[in-house]
C-alpha cells in the first residue's frame, strides 16, 4: 500500500541544506548575594547549572576590625544573571529541501482482518532518510502479526511529480 504525501502540507524548508543546529544548553545562573556581617559586608557568588543547587564559588568581605563599620563597596550589588548557552551541533545529513506530512490511510490487517490506520501500527524501524520515510517493518497492535501490511511511503519527488501532472 502506498502512503501518499498530503499535497497541502508540502512546504519549502527554511533550513534547507543547513547542517548546523543550535541547541539551547542548560540554564546557568550567576548569583551575587550581599549580606551584612559584623564590621561590614560580605559578598558571595554562586553558580547553578540546570536544576543543580547553587554552588558557592567566591567569597569576599569588606570588614573593619577596629570596631567601626566598613562601607559596602559601591560596585557590590546583589544580582541574578541568567545565561542559556547555545551549543552548535553538526548533523550528518543536510536539512531536506521540503517539509511534508504523509496521509494516514485506513486498511485491514492481513493477519486478523481488523481495521487500522497506519499511525496505529507498531514498528521498530520506521525511519527517515534524506527527508523520506523508509522502513516497513510493521506490527499489528491487535494480533501482533509482523508485516500486517506492506507499506511504501511516497517520496517527495513522487509527490511533486504527481502534483505537477494534475
- Give contact residues for Zn ion (rule: CB under 5 A): 109, 111-112, 140, 142-143
Nearer to Zn ion, 71 or 147 (CB): 147
First to last CA, the chain: 21
Nearer to Zn ion, 121 or 159 (CB): 121
Minimum distance, C-beta of residue 142 to Zn ion, in the bound complex (Å): 5
Nearer to Zn ion, 73 or 113 (CB): 113
Minimum distance, C-beta of residue 117 to Zn ion, in the bound complex (Å): 13
Of 138, 133, 159, which is closest to residue 150 (Cα–Cα)? 138
φ, ψ for residue 95 (rounded to 5)? -60, 140
Minimum distance, C-beta of residue 102 to Zn ion, in the bound complex (Å): 21
How many Cβ atoms sit within 10 Å of the Cβ of residue 2?
Answer: 11
Minimum distance, C-beta of residue 159 to Zn ion, in the bound complex (Å): 29
Q: 112 vs 83, 147, 152, CA distance in Å?
A: 56, 12, 21
- Per-residue exposure over 71-110, b if at least 16 CB sit within 10 Å of its own CB, e if not: eeeeeeeeeeeeeeeeeeeeeeeebbebbbebeeeebebe
Minimum distance, C-beta of residue 4 to Zn ion, in the bound complex (Å): 23
Nearer to Zn ion, 73 or 141 (CB): 141
Nearer to Zn ion, 86 or 143 (CB): 143
C-alpha 149/C-alpha 133 separation (Å) is 16
Amino acid at each position: 500500500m502506498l502512503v501518499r504525501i498530503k499535497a497541502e502540507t508540502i512546504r519549502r524548508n527554511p533550513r534547507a541544506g543547513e547542517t548546523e543546529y543550535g541547541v539551547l544548553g542548560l540554564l546557568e545562573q550567576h548569583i551575587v548575594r550581599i549580606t551584612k556581617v559584623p564590621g561590614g559586608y560580605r559578598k558571595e557568588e554562586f553558580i547553578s547549572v540546570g536544576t543543580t543547587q547553587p554552588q558557592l564559588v567566591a567569597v569576599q568581605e569588606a570588614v573593619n576590625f577596629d570596631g567601626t563599620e566598613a562601607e559596602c563597596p559601591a560596585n557590590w550589588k546583589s544580582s541574578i544573571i541568567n545565561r542559556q548557552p547555545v551549543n552548535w551541533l553538526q548533523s550528518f545529513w543536510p536539512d531536506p529541501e521540503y517539509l511534508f506530512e504523509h496521509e494516514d490511510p485506513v486498511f485491514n490487517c492481513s493477519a486478523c482482518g481488523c481495521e487500522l490506520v497506519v499511525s496505529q501500527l507498531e514498528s521498530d524501524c520506521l525511519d527517515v532518510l534524506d527527508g523520506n520515510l523508509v522502513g516497513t517493518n510493521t506490527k499489528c497492535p491487535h494480533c501482533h502479526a509482523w508485516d500486517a501490511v506492506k507499506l511504501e511511503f511516497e517520496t517527495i519527488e513522487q509527490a511533486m511529480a504527481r502534483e505537477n501532472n494534475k
